[in-house]
Each structure stands twice: as structure tokens, then as C-alpha cells.
Amino acid sequence: MNQALFSGGAPNVSDAYTINGQPGDLYRCSSKDTMKFYVESGDRILFRVINSALLQQLFFTIANHELIVVAVDALYTKPFTTTTLMLGPGQSTDVILVADQAPGYYYIAARAYESAQNAPFDNTTTTAILAYKFAPCSGQTGLRLKPILPQLPYYNDTGTVTAFTSQLRSPSKVSVPTGITDDLFFTIGLGLINCSPGPTCQGPNNTRFTASMNNVSFVLPLTTSLLQAYYQNIPNVFTTDFPPVPITPFDYTGNVPRALWQPISGTKLYKLNFGAQVQIVLQDTAIVSTENHPVHLHGYQFYIVGEGFGNFDPKTDTSAFNLYDPPQRNTVNVPVGGWSVLRFVADNPGVWLMHCHIDSHLTWGFAMSFLVENGPEIQQSVRSPPLDLPPC
């Protein structure tokens, strides 16, 4: 069962924190109960919707109610009204709901958005109930009215995803980096590696699934953290030769030759000077299957200045960038068979992972790390490790 965590509630609507009339019980673990959010007609409620599933992007909607989006990943947006959200794992969307419908019971529902072809996924629907106080009983039975079910998009409805994400804007003009010092282009997606037949070899033709960025399948260090190795100059933990662009360019979303389906493994970092102005094109590939990937960057919030389908073309796509009020967030859903362009200033020194937030893709190697060097000031430098840092 997919699980979505619904948290929040307007300060003036204390009953939004009750489940079946029991206050203060909102943060318990999942159970077989159905969560109810009690509202009164006219309430305005702020919901923070968080996708806490590990493996699945989700559509989210509430029957008969519009949702006013005001923030994503806890960063304000220009408000807009929608009926359906799409959230990748780890993403959040803050919405204001106005209880302006006939007093009754309305399902809050979420289910999968799955863009990869032929990929197995959990297609169940998870629900909670928006319950109006003083809802009338059925005139015939005298019982509580049945909750109204919402329409959810079909599991592969990419059009609804695009309609949602294309409305995201910052609230007003923002300061987008324009003097780009590091112009990066990362392919993202899956792959296959050869393996010996057995339980860990369940891909087609004696292969197993892997994933990579710029054809490097990331290997997490086993004994020493990347930040510790950087800080203490410990050799042989990582290298700093992560490729800034694909070593072998190809038709990324076309018919990719099989010779390009097997990545190399490595713990490769990309070094950034403090204050670098970074642009990253994240380009989905058709290797195994195109797929919408929620790509998360630690340590930063970035602007999403452009998105599109197919192969990114700098000659034509750059002119359409939004450098005025692009949305800011920390996890971007890169369109299936498409691309997203991010910009940020590297002003937070340290080692920062960038990875797909679909957990299986991360463990298959869909990650890389930035090594951001210290700035000139003490406040712009990595702090010393704590005195009680375990030596091993």
C-alpha cells in the first residue's frame, strides 16, 4: 500500500489535528484505520502534503475541492488553483483548502504516477476522509452519508503532471544566477549490468538492473564518509573526475545502442569552487525505459529554469528559460523522456549528494556528489568534526 503522510492544519482549526475525535494523534504510524480530518464549513486549512513513499510518485486529490498551491518543498510559490498534485518521494506541497462544499464526507486520495514502460508498481489507492462537522445523515437510512470519491488521473497521465509542474513559479522576481561558471549536462536513468545467474540476477538475459548519472553508477564508500575523507585528506575514498558532460554523446531519448546500456562504477565527485554559478541539464535517457525521476540535491535549493521533452537542445531551448520567477525547490521531477535545467550558487561548502529519490534507483547507483570547496571566510568553510566523532 502506498503511504502518504498528511500533516499540518490551520492554527485556528484545532480539530484538524484529530483522528476519530482523538486529539494529538496525527503522527502515529500507519494502521488499518482511515484517517479523518474534521472541518467546519468556511474553514481555510493549510495542508502540507508529503510523499513519504520510498518507491513511487503519487497523484493526490480531494473530492469536489480545489487546492490552492502556496509552496513546494517548503518554498513559497505564486498561488495557483488545481485539483490534482503530483509528488515524487521526498517532495512536499503546501495547499490551502477552503471547506466550501455541502457538509458531507469527501475522500482524500493518492495513487501511483508510473511513467516507466512495463515496470511493475503498486496501483492501489490510499485514502483519508475530509469530514465536515454537522454533515446531515441520509434521509432514507438515517446513517452517515458515504464519502464521495474523487477522480484520480490514470497511472501514466503525464499530461496532468506537466499541467501541474508548468504552473509552478516563485512568488515574484528572484535572483537567478546568470554568470554560469559550471555548465553541466548529466544523463540520468537506468542500465543493465551482466551478472551470473542467481537470485540477484533478475534482469533480462543474465543481467541485473543498475542506474547511473553520466554513465557512472555511484558506489557509496564503505568505511569512511565522503566529507570526512575530504576534510582529513584520506586517499582512495573518492576521485574528483565525475564527467561534466556525457563522455559519449548519443540520441538520449531515441533508440540507444545496447553498447551504451552498461555503465561503469565509481565514487566520482565533481568539484565546485565556492561561489560557483552552476547550471545542470538533467537529461532522461531511453536506456531500459524512459521514466520521470525525482532528482534531489542535498545542501541546496535550486531554481528550475526550464523543462521539456525529448533531447535538450541548447540552441532552441535556452531562449525559453524562465530567469524571472522560476520555482525553487530541492527535488525536481525530470519529465519522462525529457529534461530539466537547474541553477544554483555553490555557497554551501562540503560534500553533497545528488540522487534519484526513488530508493531502488539510488541503491542501483543513480547518484553523484558535488565537492564544494571552502570559501575565504570561516563562516564559508566546513566546520571541524566534533571532538567525539568516532575514529572508526
Binding footprint of Cu ion on the chain (CB under 5 A): 293, 356, 358, 361
Closest to Cu ion by CB, 343 vs 357, is 357
Q: How far is CA 369 from the centre of its chain?
A: 17
Closest to Cu ion by CB, 110 vs 282, is 282
Q: Are 386 and 369 in contact (CB under 8 A)?
A: no
Cα–Cα separations (whole angstroms), residue 286 to 162, 291, 301:
19, 8, 28
Closest chain position to Cu ion (CB): 356
Q: What would the grid cell of residue 353 be?
A: 549528494
Cα distance between residue 105 and residue 94, in whole Å: 22
Least distance in Å: CB of 357 to Cu ion?
7
- Angle at the Cα of 67 (from 91 to 82), degrees rounded to 5? 85
Q: Kindly give, in sequence order, each residue whose CB lies less than 8 Å from that of residue 357, ignoring residues fewer than 6 positions away.
A: 88, 89, 90, 91, 294, 295, 296, 331
Least distance in Å: CB of 58 to Cu ion?
14
Q: Please report, to the nearest 10 degrees, the dihedral formed by the alpha carbons of residues 163, 168, 169, 175 taken in order.
A: -120
Amino acid at 368: M
Closest to Cu ion by CB, 293 vs 296, is 293
Amino acid at 361: H
Least distance in Å: CB of 289 to Cu ion?
11
Least distance in Å: CB of 293 to Cu ion?
3
Closest to Cu ion by CB, 18 vs 331, is 331
Cα distance between residue 212 and residue 195, in whole Å: 17
Cα distance between residue 2 and residue 225, in whole Å: 32
Least distance in Å: CB of 338 to Cu ion?
14
Closest to Cu ion by CB, 2 vs 170, is 2
Least distance in Å: CB of 183 to Cu ion?
24
DSSP for residue 144: B
Least distance in Å: CB of 365 to Cu ion?
11
Closest to Cu ion by CB, 168 vs 354, is 354
DSSP for residue 14: G
Cα distance between residue 131 and residue 65, in whole Å: 12
Closest to Cu ion by CB, 73 vs 291, is 291
